Amino acid sequence: MIKFFRKIRQNLLSEGKTGKYIKYAIGEILLVVIGILIALQINNWNDQRISKKEVITQLKILSIELKDDINLFESQIKSYPERVDYLQKLSQGEFEELDLSLFFEIVVWNDTPILFGDSYANLKTNGGIDLIDDKDLKNKLGFYNDRARLTTNELIDYGRSTALENVDMTVLSYMEYDNNNELVKENTIRVIKEKKLNNIINYQLMTKKTQLNIYTDMNEFAQKLKEQLDEYIQTLE
């Protein structure tokens, strides 16, 4: 092909057709440029196909992580009402219906921050988020991962740190244990009636109610988000 073009140029020069030669040379340059642009475009298409494939993989992992979040939220939602009910009865002095051996565990117990998955962070790092063309889905993913998750853990950590700073020592100061390391029921009831632990009980009751509402809202949001994400993944495949 190169020899063919060279021969044409030589013929034009030998015939003295300088004007045609210049036009031909320009045309040849344009053909080369067009060829380069086409090659670059094809390369970009290949890169985009690879990126799209990687994004789909990450989105599938994100869907799995959302399912893990939902399972965790549902587990907390299932266990919290009993704890809230226990604290409610403690606050109202309904001791007869309670197993006071669980007092320390329920009053002092607090969640630990949730270890969420990192697939969304990976998508942000490698630019995969920008390839999601569903603006509503992209915004919801951002809200859930950058704000809702963070707020949830901040509230958990706040309640936990408050308990560690105030609840543990107060409970240990007033509670009495027998030789079997069991709380002495009479002493526990007396201390509660004297309202020495009343503020702590009510604080934990308020905290658990708030966290239960958060888990319920997060669970609902995560479920809808996963459904929308799964539908979007199907459109990409």
44 in any annotated domain = no
164 in any annotated domain = yes
113 in any annotated domain = yes
108 in any annotated domain = yes
**What are 177's strand-pairing partners?**
183
Structure tokens at 162: 């408050």
Q: Is 189 exposed, middle or buried (0-12, 13-18, 19+ CB in 10 A)?
A: middle
16 in any annotated domain = no
40 in any annotated domain = no
One pLDDT digit (tens) per residue for the chain, 237 residues: 444 445 544 554 455 545 554 554 555 555 555 656 665 554 555 444 447 788 888 899 999 999 999 999 999 999 899 999 999 998 888 887 788 878 877 887 777 788 888 888 888 887 788 888 899 999 999 999 988 988 888 888 877 777 666 666 666 677 777 787 777 778 777 877 777 778 888 888 988 898 899 999 999 999 999 999 999 999 987
- Tell me which H or E stretch contains 60: helix 18-92
Domain range enclosing 179: 63-236
The total of structural domains in the chain comes to 1
